[in-house]
Structure 1
Amino acid sequence: MTGSNQFSNTFSLTDEIADIIRDRILKGEYKIGEKIKENQIATELRVSRTPIREAFKQLENEGLIDYIPNRGCFAKGFTKQDIEDIYAVRKALEVLSVEWAVNRITPEEISNLQDQSDLMEFYTTRKDGRKVLEINTDFHDIIYNATGSRFMAQVLRSYKEYIEQTRKVLFYESEYLEEIFAEHKAILDSIKERDVVKAKEAMARHLDGSKRRAQVVYKIKD
């Protein structure tokens, strides 16, 4: 994402600015601990400081920046350990979720998953990462809901923001879209077959793939 001042009407100015800063943090353009200068961003994007400050608050809530009084805002990003931890938790919980979902999912929910898969394929062919990201989130939410577990839903919600941050930067990389779609189709096919073993294996492969892609995008080495 560039420093263009051509903002779309789809998102508020604050959200657009937050997207730009978030993208730079997650791609390592702002190093961990680097100060993010409000006046520099205001000059570059040709905007006032008010929406920048609101964007900083949003990113602070997401855990991507630190605000230190009288000093300013500093990039946090994700460390290698953060990525390891996020994907370890995701894999454990989402493999369990799909196991429960296979046994509890309704025909209507399977139909909804199929609809999301079809949409994902459509936007994958058009290299529209933003739309694929939205559909991906809906796809996983259907599986979470299909577990029928309020406790699982609560646990997943508690770390969903971290999942979304890792997803956002990956789905902007169009080279991964076909791979991501194939992984979701494998999950769907195994759920439709109500094959617990295959579903768990497909979800595990997807999470392993997501972790590998995250390590590449974040320039993290084993």
Structure 2
Amino acid sequence: MSPAVDDDHVPAARPPSLTERTIEAVREGIRNGSFVPGELYSVYRLADELGVSRSPVRDALLRLAETGMVAFERNRGFRVVLPGARELTEIIAVRLALEVPAAERAAVRATDADRSALHDEHSAMQAAVLAGDESAFMLHDQRLHGLLLDLAGNAHAARIIENLRDATRLVGASTIKKSRSLEDVYREHRPILDAIDDSDPVAAGSAMRRHLESTGRLLLREAPDGNGTSLWADLIEPVADERGG
């Protein structure tokens, strides 16, 4: 006989697998600078440090390799890959393809509670600006974008964007302090939230596009193999022209 189900309790979420835990550990190492692009790292040593077998580590790295974040060297180990101009341009193209329509859908679907959650993250970004805390700022920036993707109802897109954001962190990781300030980035998000408050999908999509294109152009300035001007013209501008006309 099956045990009774308590309707007052929601089943606990499935705990992350060893592979998922390893993926998150590597991504966190990329975020905090523990893994340096170009350096060779041992799969065996990583497994020992994480206290897991080599199998989930290999599985995790294979999945990260699919995103372009790491590359294997046969019988030697793996390296964290520094995105070049083409990779960065392609990342921005994917983000535009996913996040612009997500912002449009969020403007239509957002409830008062959703808008409140978005504004809470935006306020937390402002608090981080005042504190000069870049790490906290980037955390709340990521959460705000995640909320917008959640509103669009596409969990797979949210995971893709999270991986892509981690990849761009490797290129000066962010454009903060090099090309724009925390305050600048904070202000770029205001038109997006204003449009969602007004339930205006066209304005929300346009504001998101401006924000991502600004980010993309500044990231390309930091690319190790050129500024990617021609790539931007080939991959980004035609899409913008089509949407505009």
State TM-score, norm by structure 2. 0.65
Q: Corresponding residue for 2:83?
A: 78
Q: Corresponding residue for 1:177?
A: 182
Aligned AA for 1:36?
L
Give 3-state SS (helix, strand or coil) of 1:66's partner: strand
Task: Map 1:68-217; keep pairs closer than 5 Å.
Answer: 68-147=73-152, 149=153, 152-167=154-169, 169-170=173-174, 173=177, 175-217=180-222
Q: 1:180-203 CA deviation, whole Å, 9 max, x = no partner? A: 111112211111122222211110
Shift of 1:100: 0.8
Shift of 1:109: 0.6
Q: Give the distance between the partners of 1:37 and 1:92, measured in 2 at CA.
A: 34
Give 3-state SS (helix, strand or coil) of 2:132's partner: coil
Aligned AA for 1:51?
E
* Gaps in structure 2 of 5+ consecutive residues: 1-24, 230-245
Structure with more relative contact order (C-alpha pairs < 8 Å, separation 6 or more): 2
Q: Check the 8 A contact 2:107/2:200 in 1, yes or no.
A: yes
Q: 2:33 aligns with which of 8, 20, 42?
A: 20
Between Structure 1 and Structure 2, how many residues are aligned? 191
Q: In 2 relative to 1, CA 211–79 (structure 1 residues): closer, same or farther, beyond 3 Å?
A: same
Q: In 2 relative to 1, CA 182–104 (structure 1 residues): closer, same or farther, beyond 3 Å?
A: same
Q: Give the distance between the partners of 2:176 and 2:209, measured in 1 at CA.
A: 22
Aligned AA for 2:162?
K
Give 3-state SS (helix, strand or coil) of 2:33's partner: helix
Q: In 2 relative to 1, CA 195–126 (structure 1 residues): closer, same or farther, beyond 3 Å?
A: same
Give 3-state SS (helix, strand or coil) of 2:75's partner: coil
Shift of 1:49: 9.7
Q: Corresponding residue for 2:13?
A: none
Q: 1:10-69 CA deviation, whole Å, 9 max, x = no partner? A: xx89955873244x42xxxx3xxxx5266xxx9xxxxx9943999x96666533332223
Q: In 2 relative to 1, CA 106–15 (structure 1 residues): closer, same or farther, beyond 3 Å?
A: closer
Q: 1:123-154 CA deviation, whole Å, 9 max, x = no partner? A: 0122211111110111112111222x3xx322
Shift of 1:94: 0.7
Q: Give the distance between the partners of 1:193 and 1:82, measured in 2 at CA.
A: 35
Aligned AA for 1:19?
N
Q: Check the 8 A contact 1:184/1:206 in 2, yes or no.
A: yes
Shift of 1:101: 0.8
Q: In 2 relative to 1, CA 131–62 (structure 1 residues): closer, same or farther, beyond 3 Å?
A: farther
Aligned AA for 2:100?
V
More displaced, 154-163 or 118-127? Answer: 154-163
Q: Check the 8 A contact 2:31/2:166 in 1, yes or no.
A: no
**Which structure is larger by alpha-carbon Rg, 1 or 2?**
2
Q: Corresponding residue for 1:218?
A: 223
Give me the CA root mean square deviation: 3.4
